[in-house]
Amino acid sequence: MPAKKPLPAKTAGASAARRPPKRLGLAGRVAMIAVVAAFVAAIAQWVITPILAQGEIRTQREVAVTSGASLLADVARVHAEAGHWSEIPVLVDALSNGLPGGQSAVFGADWALLARDGDPAALPPLRALEALARDPNGILNKGERYYAARPIIAHGKTFGYAVYSFLPRPFVDVWLTVVALNAMVLSLFLLAIAPLVYRLARHALKPVTLLERRIRSRDPKDKSKLADSSDDRLLKPLLTAIDEVHERSEAAMRRALTMAYTDPVTHLPNRLRFVSRLENVVASGQGVHLVICDLDKFRQVNVTYGPHFADKALGVVAERLRATAIAAKLSGFFIGRIGADQFGLLLPSTTDLNAAPFLKAAGAAIGEPIGLEDQVLRVTASFGCSSFPADAPTGPDLLKLAEVALKEAKRGGVQGIAFFDQRLLDKARAQTKLEEEVRVGIERGEFVAVFQPKVKLESGELVGAEALARWRRPDGAIVSPGVFIPIAEELGLIGTLGKQVMRDACFAAAGWNRKGIVSSVAVNVSPHQFDDPDFVSSVFQALDDSGLPPDLLELEITESAAVADADRVARTMWPLRNRGVRLAIDDFGTGHSNFAAITRLPFDVFKIDQQFVRALSTDPHAPAIVEMILAMAEALGQETVAEGVETKEQADFLLRRACTIGQGYYYSPPLPAAEFDAFVRSYRPRPADRFAA
């Protein structure tokens, strides 16, 4: 077996460079903390002690200068008594260097300077020295220098005065020198005893060190308790505490993961987990159907019954979806909540013909009545489906295409179900382009109001008009409201569009009335406009700016919108009614009429939907429905307006049944404001039976 070749020097050096630096163990850290603590404590003592001793240091300096002055005076007195007064300069020269910066001076009895030696600093003024000599305990500070003066008295006679001073060394210099020397000695001492401190710490902490190693080498899958692995009476409580903290952290982690990936309302996987599962399935190459289930108009449930009720309803829908999948024996299905009122389903790969029955069954199960809190709720759902790998190669693309199919299902898919194909994508792109054109058109003011006359059936008198929105494209083409109104509602722009039409209608009607033609104007109100908190104020603003009397403005609300939330409609409409604005219920008879709700609302006018008027000659039930609506309006004392009057026979029937007002192409199509002005000027009232067919 060949011997292993040694690593090249460069490789070995690189390995050494990559090797992490060795860390201090627990004992080393404890020893280091002890040494540093001792060093810091000593330094703190050396810093604090001189500060606390400042007063004592000052006292010692005063004692030193006083002693020097007394010594000089005593020696000078001895010389005077011995008759050697002339040797005073020699004496002064000998005593001047006793202290740092020392200075000696002797004055005669008349304060004439006899001798001076030592530091050349100038002496204080004679007055200050005279005062100092009279005070036995006096000390004079001039700058940093200390002065003391004593009289020289021999045989009861004052021969002169002795003055002594010195300049102490700066306190900081002395302190720094002492600290530096002490720190050096202490450092050497601590370095010398550090190995001993380390050994002591290592010995004392050996059980903890062994525990640390055991914890670090512990297998993450090992669920045994640490407290069971040691009988040490000191470590046992610590290990028990570690076990408890570990259990709590694991429980918290499990709760966090559950909250992060589970919807709290339905207890289904949330969108994050659903998308992750979808991507895993796609990555594995398994064929799968991705279905998006959207609850139709579920937002109204939140508005009507409240979020708590809506959450319970969502839980019921989730359970019904799960039960349907189990009943269909779909192995490997996966359901999650991916939106406020949307669910995602991953179904095993089957053909569309096999998937469709399941989606129909799911739709039927969801549509069953839901009984909650003494309320019965009916919910419908739409389903959009895309498939892997036939439609898209990635999870995000599958979601996008399923959304495209869902939109088609909501627009009129078979039983609310649509499977993706390329034509839907082309249609969706065209729809997106149209949506952008609607947005730009509203910004540019391309939407205008046109006016369709309203005629009193009995007399043929022109009594008003209905303002209808029209989209006049830059190329002159006119787009039907049935195309752009749903788009504006979906984009949240219906409020802006409604305000534009409202202002145009108010200004147009105000202009007619200024010309002497008293005529009201009716404006349709979208259900989405009730969500705008500024709706009422915008109506008031349009009336104030145009000068139109409020009783000549009529707001039309669809029956379905009025019945869906009668209380909310009432709260919104009563301020308008109190101002004098008239209110009409539009398309009456087309929804699930709730007569109790309608009678609570402040309506003035019932509008008969045009589908009933047009069916008078073709549907045997239409005349009875129209007569019922007219009878109800008469009982409530309200006006009636019939839409879609196109023939003389229809007008005659409505007149015989006491309908108040007619509106439709029999009288005039919707006209732009300028053409409507011309129509009004040329119009002559005629009885209903004289209109030409």
| Percent of the chain clearing pLDDT 70 (strictly above) | 83
**pLDDT grade for 687, boundaries at 50, 70 and 90:** low
Residue-level pLDDT at 273: 92
What number is the average pLDDT over the span 347-372? 82
User: Which CATH number covers residue 144?
Assistant: 3.30.450.20
Alpha carbon distance 161, 153 (integer Å): 9
| Percent of the chain with pLDDT strictly greater than 90 | 18
Half-sphere exposure of 397 (CA within 13 A, CB side): 10
Closest CA to 650 of 463, 464, 457: 457
CB 564 within 8 A of CB 599: no
Give residue 3's pLDDT. Answer: 47
DSSP-assigned letters across all residues of 539-564: HHHHHHHHT--GGGEEEEEEHHHHHH
At residue 495, the pLDDT reads 83
Indicate whether 144 and 193 sit together in one domain.
no
CATH number (domain holding residue 501): 3.20.20.450
SS3 state at 85: helix
Regarding whether 663 and 566 lie in a shared domain, the answer is yes
383, pLDDT greater than 90: yes
Does residue 558 contact residue 588 with C-beta atoms inside 8 Å?
A: no
In a domain, 109, yes or no: yes
- The verdict on 440 and 405 lying in the same domain is no
| Per-residue model confidence (pLDDT) at position 291 | 94
Q: What is the DSSP letter of 522?
A: E
Measuring CA to CA, which residue among 636, 583, 580 is closest to residue 607?
583
> Is pLDDT of 440 > 50?
yes
| Predicted pLDDT at 319 | 94
Asked whether residue 93 falls in the same domain as residue 128, the answer is yes
Nearest to 159 by CA among 112, 104, 90: 112
Beta bridge partners of 446: none
242 falls within a domain: no
Q: Is 689 exposed, middle or buried (0-12, 13-18, 19+ CB in 10 A)?
A: exposed
**End-to-end Cα spacing for the chain:** 115
Confidence of residue 9 (pLDDT cuts 50, 70, 90): very low
536 falls within a domain: yes
Average pLDDT over residues 205-233: 66
- Listed residues 117, 150, 168: the one ending a domain: 168
One domain for residues 382 and 445: no
Would you tell me how many other CB atoms lie within 10 Å of the CB of residue 306?
11
Structure confidence by residue, pLDDT tens digits, 494-535: 888 888 888 999 998 998 888 887 678 999 888 788 778 888
Q: What is the mean pLDDT of residues 607-634?
A: 86
Q: What is residue 130's predicted lDDT score, i.e. its pLDDT?
A: 85
Q: Which residues contact 499 (CB under 8 A, 6 or more apart)?
A: 538, 542
Pairing of strands 342-348, 288-295: antiparallel
**414 shares a domain with 353:** yes
Are 619 and 555 in a shared domain?
Answer: yes
Phi and psi at residue 188, in whole multiples of 5°?
Answer: -60, -40
Indicate which CATH number applies to the domain containing 377. 3.30.70.270
Cβ density class 514-540: b for 16+ within 10 Å, e for less: eeeeebbbbbbbbbbbbebeebbebbe
> pLDDT confidence of 98, banded at 50, 70, 90?
low
316 and 341 in contact (C-beta within 8 Å)? no
Domain edge (last residue) among 397, 420, 443: 420
> pLDDT tens across 488-505, in order?
887 778 888 888 888 999
pLDDT band at 402 (very low <50, low <70, confident <90, very high): very high
Domain final residue pick, 385, 420, 455:
420
Judge whether 237 lies within some domain.
no
332-347: per-residue pLDDT in tens?
Answer: 889 999 998 999 999 8
Assess whether 473 and 538 both reside in one domain: yes
Whether residue 14 lies inside any domain: the answer is no
Please check whether residues 551 and 659 belong to one and the same domain.
yes
* Same domain? 110 vs 193: no
What is the rounded average pLDDT of the residues 136-161? 86
DSSP state letter for 7: P
- Residue 249, domain member (yes or no): no
Q: Is the pLDDT of residue 55 over 80?
A: no
Among 77-81, 410-414, 617-621, name the one with the lowest average pLDDT: 410-414
Reading the block at residue 389, the tokens are: 């790998």
User: Is 608 inside any structural domain?
Assistant: yes
- Are both 284 and 163 inside the same structural domain? no
- For 547: left if phi > 0, alpha if psi spans -120 to 50, otherwise beta; the answer is left
DSSP code of 690? G
3-state secondary structure of 448: strand
In a domain, 265, yes or no: no
| Pairing relationship of beta strands 342-348 and 334-339 according to DSSP bridges | antiparallel
For the residues of 344-412, what is the DSSP string, one character each?
Answer: EEEEES--HHHHHHHHHHHHHHHHS-EEETTEEE---EEEEEEEETTT-SSHHHHHHHHHHHHHHHHHH
Encode pLDDT of 106-119 as tens digits: 888 888 888 888 88
pLDDT at 207 over 80: no
Question: Which residues constitute the domain of residue 43?
Answer: 23-52+173-211
Q: Are residues 70 and 88 both part of a single domain?
A: yes
Joined together, the tokens standing for residue 241 give 């505490």
Q: Which of 586, 431, 567, 444 is nearest to 523 (CA)?
A: 586
The count of structural domains within the chain is 4
pLDDT band at 12 (very low <50, low <70, confident <90, very high): very low
Is pLDDT larger for residue 212 or for residue 21? 212
